[in-house]
Amino acid sequence: MNEIPSKIRFEPATDTLPSGHPHVKFGKIGVLLMNLGTPDNTDYWSMRRYLKEFLSDRRVIEVNPLIWWPILNLIVLSKRPFTSGEAYRSIWNKELDESPLRTITRSQTEKAAAYFANHPNIIFDWAMRYGNPSAKAGLEALQKQGCERILIFPLYPQYSAATTATALDKSFDALKQMRWQPAIRTVPAYFDDPSHIEALAKSMHKGLAALDFEPEMVIASFHGLPKEYFDKGDPYHCHCAKTTRLLRERLGWPKEKLMLTFQSRFGSAEWLQPYTDPTIAELAQKGLKRLAVICPGFSSDCVETLEEIAIEAGETFHENGGEQFGVIPCLNDSDESIEMLDAIIRRELGGWV
């Protein structure tokens, strides 16, 4: 592990405080890991509350609000909480009564913090863009512990306005309400960071070794994005393509061995292509018998990977003639994942005085 650069100043100014001044904590650095979000439970109202916050985000749905509001509130939120709740129930962490995303994000934070055990002035916390714990709660908790500087780490390897930008928007909205506002840094997209590509390569080797078959092809499935957003200048597609290319080169694979696709479409508009589900069906129909899928756009396994890919995509493959189907887990809280987080955090903290 690399050491924190020595020029980071941990000790605050030691001005003499007046008699009777209330105790104030200061002089610490905070690291806030942020993931997309999770419902609190799988019942109708919990799902509706979560989906309303998510689908009301103007970064996510750029349709005119006058048009989108009645569609969302009268149609989508009447039906979708039932189907989404069913999907979440199929992958719910029943032992802790929470979604896997919450479980994994908490573990990632705790394990990353352990790498900084020799630096007690660096404090870690975690938050969600949608649902709980909120970005506001995370920032306030760190500030109350004396964090005068906070590094916000959106756990999205590839940048998109609908993910990274909205997580930062929510954080900045919370900062607007804070009287004693900490200095802020944000971690940029790390889609092509060598530590990220190395973590993905190690994860791929481990995941393939755990399968009881050798796939003829591996699909790299990323969360989709409306094509309109790409046309407006969102770099997400380019970041996904470069991640896939760098991973393929790191593995030493030919181009046809690792294929880029996009999943999780919503609505009738055109999204980034090729789409994951019809691609899987077509490959099986053409005679492909052994297929594996990796999801390099997700830092943690969640409903999109555990239900949409592992269950639904697997069924699609088998229904169309495929025989053996496997899913490579996301980086999650694996050793390679935490080593990557550690490397990025240490780099971003460097020189902060």
Interatomic CA distance for residues 320 and 313, integer angstroms: 11
Interatomic CA distance for residues 300 and 35, integer angstroms: 9
Instruction: Give the pTM.
Output: 0.92
Confidence of residue 267 (pLDDT cuts 50, 70, 90): confident
Interatomic CA distance for residues 42 and 87, integer angstroms: 9
Domain 194-328 classification at class level:
alpha beta
Residue 244, C-beta contacts closer than 8 angstroms, at least 6 positions apart: 220, 258, 260, 296
pLDDT at 353: 43
Cα distance from N-terminal residue to C-terminal residue, the chain: 21
Interatomic CA distance for residues 348 and 333, integer angstroms: 20
Residue 343's SS3 state is: helix
What is the average pLDDT value for the chain, to the nearest integer?
94
Phi first, then psi: give them for residue 271, nearest 5 degrees: -115, 175
Look at residue 6 and tell me whether its pLDDT is greater than 50: no
Interatomic CA distance for residues 269 and 226, integer angstroms: 7
175-218 tens-digit pLDDT: 999 998 999 999 999 999 999 999 999 999 999 999 999 999 99
Look at residue 174 and tell me whether its pLDDT is greater than 70: yes
Interatomic CA distance for residues 294 and 297, integer angstroms: 9
pLDDT at 1: 52
DSSP letter, residue 93: B
Look at residue 123 and tell me whether its pLDDT is greater than 50: yes
E strands, the chain, are 28-38, 122-131, 147-154, 183-186, 217-223, 258-263, 290-294, 324-328
Q: What is the secondary structure of 157-211 as a DSSP string? A: SS--IIIIIHHHHHHHHHHHT-SSPPEEEEPPP-TT-HHHHHHHHHHHHHHHHHS
Q: What is the mean pLDDT of residues 284-299?
A: 98
How buried is residue 153: exposed, middle or buried, by Cβ count under 10 Å (0-12/13-18/19+)?
buried
